[in-house]
Amino acid sequence: MNEETKPPGTDNPTDANRPVEINGVRIEATFAEAFDMKATRVIITAMDEIWAEHAASAMSGFGTSVIDCKLEIDIERRLSPSETPDGRPGIALLAFAMSGGDLEKQITRRAGQCVLTCPTTALFAGLTDDVPRDKRIALGKTLRFFGDGNQISKVIDGKRFWRIPVMDGEFICQHDAPRVSGIGGGNFLLVARDLHAASRAARAAIGAIDPIPDVITPFPGGVTRSGSKVGSKYKSMIASTNDAYCPALRGITDSQLADGENAVLEVVLDGLSFDAIAEAMRTGIRAACSSCGEHGLVAVTAGNYGGKLGRHHFHLHEVLS
């Protein structure tokens, strides 16, 4: 699919540029520009929710941005015992990387250091896509060697699992997980009168996005203050501060902020599909506007690179229509 993915109707400049407000919050006539990524879902289960949470937190740590983490990973949702492969409480995580190689390297390392090490846990693939062997990410396929020859393989319902002896019994791990295409870099920016209002709006947005499946917001609390632009005056930097939205740089750079717009926070979304990200953006923006529209949230806008870098464009007016 080479053509740009965008909702119908966005070619009409009259539609795209008409003023839109939600609860007094200005919705800018712009779009979020997102990229193709490689994605997978893994499921961590444990004896109880607490151990599962520890393993999931460790595995998703330092997984905010591919710029330097090489992986964007976060908890997608908590799973009840009836939803997991081994009937124990679990957590589903979604992970995104710029290439299949990066994804495999990061997932395997994190599985080995964060899940294998965590008491009582087990690790399973969370996607059922039937993909070729070269599009699968090694889990137990690599981790089994920790068993030093004492590992045991079981093929159950056509899936291979590894039982690796560890000090609390056995670590059960699925052989591999499917790798699929995903989209990274969906975003919207919450422009507020002050930092308190921006923070409240961001929390409302993330709270509303949380239950939506197939989407994660990988930054701390789902939000980042350090939105970036491509490039820098320093050659070694591939990204640098988004000066157009830094309130402290008004009057020095080409700012996009008007008077009274003193704090901006960005919600970044990765998802398994265009529709999932669009749904999350719609839900998040509406929640932010309805909770903070009369309490300091001034505008909602989005980050893009002029449409030249990513082929998935989320036009705010269309997403919210």
Q: Which residues bind another protein (CB under 8 A)?
A: 85-88, 122, 150, 152-157, 161, 163, 169-170, 172
Question: 3-class DSSP state for residue 199?
Answer: helix
Helical (H) or strand (E) element with 56: helix 49-60
Whether 242 contacts 301, CB under 8 Å:
no
Whether 24 contacts 294, CB under 8 Å:
yes
Question: What is the C-alpha to C-alpha distance for residues 273 and 183, in angstroms, rounded to an integer?
Answer: 6
Query: CB-wise, 10 or 117, nearer to another protein?
Result: 117
Distance in Å, CB of 172 to another protein, minimum: 6
Q: Give the CA distances from residue 162 to residues 26, 77, 80, 124, 138, in Å, rounded to whole numbers and listed in that order.
A: 54, 25, 23, 10, 12
Distance in Å, CB of 109 to another protein, minimum: 24
Q: Give the CA distances from residue 32 to residues 29, 275, 284, in Å, rounded to whole numbers and listed in that order.
A: 10, 14, 14
Distance in Å, CB of 16 to another protein, minimum: 50
Query: CB-wise, 163 or 286, nearer to another protein?
Result: 163
Query: CB-wise, 21 or 168, nearer to another protein?
Result: 168
Q: Give the CA distances from residue 37 to residues 51, 148, 198, 220, 278, in Å, rounded to whole numbers and listed in that order.
A: 30, 35, 29, 20, 16
Distance in Å, CB of 86 to another protein, minimum: 4
Distance in Å, CB of 137 to another protein, minimum: 20
Identify the bridge partners of residue 173 per DSSP, sorted by sequence position.
Answer: 123, 162
Q: Number of helices (H) and strands (E) in the chain: give both, helices first.
A: 7, 19
Query: CB-wise, 164 or 208, nearer to another protein?
Result: 164
Query: Which value, in Å, is the radius of gyration of the alpha carbons in the chain?
Result: 21
Distance in Å, CB of 231 to another protein, minimum: 49
